[in-house]
Structure 1
Amino acid sequence: MSHRFLAGALLALGMACAQAQSFSFGLWGDMPYQKAGDDPKIPALLKSINQSDIAFSIYDGDIKDGSSKCTEDIYASALAMFGELKKPVVYVPGDNEWTDCHRLNNGGYDALERLDYLRKTMFPTTRSLGKRSMALAHQASLGEKFVENTRFAHQGIVFATLNVPGSNNNKILDEKDCTQKSARTAAQCEASNAEYLERDAANVRWMQEAFSQAKAGKARGLALVIQADPGFDLPETEGIDESQAPGVSGYRNFISKLITETEQFAGQVLLVHGDTHFFKVDKPLYSPTRLLANLTRLQTFGSPLIHWVRVSVEAKNPNVFTVQPVIVKQ
Structure 2
Amino acid sequence: MTNIFKIFVGVITLLTIFSCGSSKQNFSFFAIGDMPYNVPEDYERFEHVITAINEQDPAFTVHVGDIKGGSSPCTDAVFEKLYDYFQEFKNPVILTPGDNDWTDCHRKGAGEYDPVERLEQLRSVFYKDRKSMGQTKLDLHTQDTYPGYEKFVENALWEQKKILFATLHVVGSNNNFNPDNPADNTEFNERNTANLFWLEEVFRQAKNRNSQGLVLFLHAGMNYADSDQSGFKDFTKKLRQEVLNYENPVLLVYGDHHRFLIEKPLRNDDGRVVKNFTSLMVFGNPDMHAVQISVNRKYDALFEIRQHFIKEAE
Give secondary structure in 2 for the equivalent of 1:297: strand
> What CA deviation, in whole Å up to 9, does each residue of 1:212-262 have, x standing for no partner?
111112111100100010024xxxxxxxxxx35676x00110010000000
Per-residue CA shift, 1:50-69, capped at 9, x if unaligned?
01031001110001000122
Structure 2: any 5+ residue segments left out of the alignment? 1-21
Q: Which residue of 2 aligns with 1:172?
A: 178
Deviations along 1:31-77, one digit per CA (max 9) or x if unpaired, are 01126943231222111100103100111000100012211111111
1:313 equivalenced with 2:305 (yes/no) = no
Residue matched to 1:213: 205
- The equivalent residue for 2:132 is 128
Q: Distance in 1 between matches of 2:94 and 2:276?
A: 25
Residue 141 of structure 1 deviates from its aligned partner by 5.1
Which of the residues 269, 290, 293 maps onto 2:275?
293
Tell me the equivalent position of 2:247: 266
- Say if 2:100 is the partner of 1:96: yes
User: Which has the higher Rg, Structure 1 or Structure 2?
Assistant: 2
TM-score, normalized by length of structure 2?
A: 0.86
Aligned to 2:158: 152
Consecutive aligned runs of 4 or more in structure 1 exceeding 3 Å deviation: 141-144, 244-247
Alpha-carbon spacing, 1:316–1:279, altered in 2? closer, same or farther (3 Å): same
**Aligned twin of 1:30:** 34
Where 1:286 maps in the other structure, the secondary structure is: coil
- Match of residue 18 from structure 2: none
Measured on the aligned residues, the alpha-carbon RMSD in Å equals 2.2
Give the 5 Å matches for 1:272-287. Answer: 272-286=253-267
Contact 1:274 1:299 in 2 (8 A): yes
Partner Cα separation in structure 2 for residue 127 and residue 203 of structure 1: 20
Range with greater deviation from structure 2 (102-111 or 208-217): 102-111
Q: d(CA) in 2 for partners of 1:267 and 1:45?
A: 32
- Structure 2 match to 1:78: 82
Alignment partner of 1:253: what SS?
helix
Once structures 1 and 2 are overlaid, which stretch shifts more, 33-42 or 23-32? 33-42
* Rounded Cα–Cα distance in structure 2 between residues aligned with 1:37 and 1:250: 32
Which residue number in structure 1 is paired with residue 56 of structure 2?
52
Structure 1 position 229 matched with structure 2 position 221: yes
Q: CA offsets per residue over residues 169-188 of structure 1, 9 Å max, x none?
A: 1101226xxxxxxxxxxxxx
Distance in structure 2 (CA, Å) of the matches to 1:93 and 1:35: 17
What secondary structure sits across from 2:210 in the alignment? coil
After superposition, the C-alpha distances for 1:85-128 in whole angstroms (9 at most, x for unaligned) are 00000111111111111222222211111111111111112110
Distance 2:81 2:88 in 1: 11
Contact map agreement 2:64 2:217 (CA 8 A) in 1:
yes
How many Å separate the matches in 1 of 2:39 and 2:136?
Answer: 31
User: Which residue of the partner structure matches residue 302 of structure 1?
Assistant: 284
Amino acid at match of 1:24: S
Mapped contact 1:19–1:156 kept (Cα < 8 A): no
Q: State the match for 1:105 in structure 2.
A: 109
Q: Which amino acid aligns with 1:124?
A: K
| Superimposed CA distance per residue, residues 184-204 of structure 1 (whole angstroms, 9 cap, x where no aligned partner) | xxxxx83x5011111111111
Percent identity between matched residues is 40
Contact 1:98 1:111 (C-alpha < 8 Å) held by counterparts = yes
Q: Separation in 1 of the partners of 2:84 and 2:33?
A: 15
Q: 2:8 aligns to what?
A: none
How many residue pairs get matched?
A: 287
Q: Would the aligned equivalents of 1:19 and 1:155 in 2 still touch at CA under 8 Å?
A: no
Q: How has the CA–CA distance of structure 1 residues 216 and 244 changed in structure 2, closer, same or farther, with 3 Å as cutoff?
A: closer
